[in-house]
Amino acid sequence: MTTAEMFAGFEAHWIDTDGGRIFARSAGAGEPLVLLHGFPQTHLMWGRIAPKLAQRFFVVAMDLRGYGWSSAPRSEAGALYAKRAMAADVVQVMERLGHVRFRVVGHDRGARVGYRLALDQPGRVEKLALLDILPTSEVWRSIEAGDIPAAHWAFLARPAPEPENEIARLGPDAYFGDLMRNWAKDDQLRGFDKRALAAYRDAWRDSTRIHAFCEDYRAGATLDRAADEADLKAGATLPCPTLILSGGFFLTRGKRPALEVWRSTFAPHAEGEEIDAGHFLAEENPDATLSALSAFL
């Protein structure tokens, strides 16, 4: 079976945006819903959830800039991978597909794109579900306070080409594969779709995408953090209904539960639930994740 069969009945799109060409799949009818994947994955992480959501919604699953089959522009100091820039891709994709306002579900880096989009352009987002993240500024604050390990956040954010060269030396399969195994509840990744895992490996073996991943994290350490801090100082909050889902293992959990952190920062009225999974909720426990999302959306 091919990866296309994971999205049977979905239409494939190549959509040109200001940031490059974005790959997306769409299917269904009803209210529009965009699914944004995490690191180091692609839209395929939604393969067990997207077809069922498409029974109720017009679902768009897209590869973020720098990931999967989307363009991976060369960048410096995170400039082209700020979440504000990546959110602009989402807006342009959805507008090309005929939707100005939509629901957003994001995991990991995709969730960071999602909440930045909702803060910057509140008229766009009907509802927002964030899977297994804390605000970027809160992660860096916790790292600097010694509450959580710097881990890959600090490593990937180092100036180019230091992390790119080190990953090449270690081998991309070893580096990224170890990250995924360390973050999953089952370190053998037995619950993951083998076709999706193969596609992730294909992507992270590409040096241009390794550079994009690092630029994503460089943006997180600088541009994204600064955007968060400016909004927090201004008292900005997410105006849309917000759902916070977290796994039982959460690398950046820190001293407070994720829902508490969000309620004290950008989402004072958020609701939340813990899913019996590691970091990869939609792949490790798709049934519980789908149930929580369906009830909220």
The pLDDT score that the predictor gives to residue 246 is 95
Placement of tokens 């987002």 in the chain: 125
Can you give the pLDDT at residue 252?
A: 54
279 catalytic per annotation? yes
Given this model, what pLDDT does residue 255 score?
Answer: 77
Question: What pLDDT score does 253 carry?
Answer: 62
State the first-to-last Cα distance of the chain, in angstroms, to the nearest integer: 31
What tokens does 148 get?
């959580």
| Residue 13: C-alpha distances to residues 145, 170, 253, 270, 274 (Å) | 44, 35, 36, 33, 34
Residue numbers in the chain where pLDDT is lower than 70:
1, 249-254
Owner of token pair 């400016």: 230
User: Do 49 and 33 form a contact (C-beta atoms < 8 A)?
Assistant: no
Quote the pTM value: 0.97
Catalytic residue among 63, 89, 108, 228: 108
State the pLDDT at residue 251. 55
11-17 sheet: strands from edge to edge? 11-17, 20-27, 58-62, 32-36, 102-107, 125-131, 242-247, 271-275
CATH superfamily placement of domain 3-296: Alpha/Beta hydrolase fold, catalytic domain (3.40.50.1820)
* Spatial separation of the C-alpha atoms in residues 57 and 35, rounded to whole Å: 11
Check residue 212 and give its pLDDT: 98
Q: What pLDDT, on the 0 to 100 scale, is given for residue 2? A: 82
State residue 1's pLDDT score. 61
User: 59: Cβ–Cβ under 8 A, 6 or more apart, which residues?
Assistant: 10, 26, 27, 28, 33, 34, 35, 50, 53
187-229 confidence digits (pLDDT tens)? 999 999 999 999 999 999 999 999 999 999 999 999 999 999 9
pLDDT of residue 178: 96
DSSP string, 143-186: HHHTSS--HHHHHHTSSTTHHHHHHHHH-HHHHHHHHHHHHSSS
Active site residue 152: no
